[in-house]
Amino acid sequence: MNKTLALEVNELVVNYGPIQAVKGISLKVPEGSIVALLGANGAGKSTTMKTISGLVKPASGSIKFFGEDITSVEPEKITEMGIMQSPEGRQVFYDLNVYENLMTGAYTIKKKDEIQKNLESVYRDFPVLEERKDQIAGTLSGGEQQMLAIARALMGSPRILTLDEPSLGLAPLIVKDIMKLIVRIRDSGVTVLLVEQNAKQTLKIADYAYVLELGRVSQEGNAQDLLDQSSLVVESYLGKV
């Protein structure tokens, strides 16, 4: 991991009332990589992601974005700095059409030519969205809504794209398509932090992975190395893959 660090989390602790949801997590996300946070429900994955985005404030620890401390920065500013999140459950605006949803992702962009360039880029990567640009988002399939959620985040010109459970509730063939899209996004120069329960598919595309268990990092390493480990070890941390 000798690349420039896009994101560095040190000893992060997050409490929900008396419950400590994240217990001293540290992780590094090199620029231009796909880094995965894996683990079962309740492991602390989504809480970590929301804390990075500024939606949840930590009890202690620090978060640095390209070396700048953003631990106490407000979510709107973090978004403007270039950390865009595609949230769990997609959360598209169901009553708006596809084009209108995409435009909500570009609200931090001031230059019209940059917005147009981003729109052309997402239509190129997600041709189904261009075909359905006038369709109401709530009538799209689950896979199409997930593509819309990712594309909406890309409209904001992210330096880091954070994806929270993009495969949740999708058919296996659609999951494979989403994973291929994530690789293409990384190859286009956008750093990706990916939260997932689908360990096998995620480890196939990630560069590095952290396995969370009950709010702590229980394992970490190159994704291929984790994928190559014995099924017994992988199951013990990740569940059956």
pLDDT at position 104 is: 92
**What is the secondary structure of 122-174 as a DSSP string?**
HHHH-HHHHHTTTSBGGGS-HHHHHHHHHHHHHTT--SEEEEESTTTT--HHH
Which element (helix H / strand E) includes 195? strand 191-196
Q: Rounded to 5 degrees, what are φ and ψ at 47?
A: -65, -40
- Kindly report the pTM of this predicted structure: 0.88
Q: How far apart are alpha carbons 62 and 44 in whole angstroms? A: 16
**What is the secondary structure of 31-53 as a DSSP string?**
TT-EEEEE--TTSSHHHHHHHHT
Which listed CATH number (3.40.630.30, 3.30.200.20, 3.40.225.10, 3.40.50.300) goes with 30-56+72-82+158-241?
A: 3.40.50.300
Measuring CA to CA, how many Å separate 113 from each of 69, 101, 106, 133, 155? Answer: 31, 18, 12, 19, 12
Q: How far apart are alpha carbons 53 and 84 in whole angstroms? A: 8
Tokens of 141: 């399939």
pLDDT at position 17 is: 86
Beta bridge partners of 9: 27, 63
Q: How far apart are alpha carbons 192 and 177 in whole angstroms? A: 16
Q: How far apart are alpha carbons 176 and 186 in whole angstroms? A: 16
pLDDT at position 36 is: 95
Q: Where do the structural domains in the chain lie, given as residue ranges?
A: 30-56+72-82+158-241, 91-157
pLDDT tens, N- to C-terminus, the chain (241 residues): 457 999 999 999 999 888 899 999 999 999 999 999 998 888 889 899 999 999 999 999 999 999 999 999 999 999 999 999 887 756 788 899 999 999 999 988 889 999 999 999 999 988 999 999 999 999 998 888 988 999 999 999 999 999 988 888 888 888 888 899 899 999 999 999 999 888 888 999 999 999 998 899 988 999 988 888 745 445 655 555 4
pLDDT at position 168 is: 82
Measured from the Cβ of residue 52, the count of other Cβ atoms closer than 10 Å reads 25
pLDDT at position 175 is: 87
Instruction: Give the strand pairing for 68-69 and 5-16.
Output: unpaired
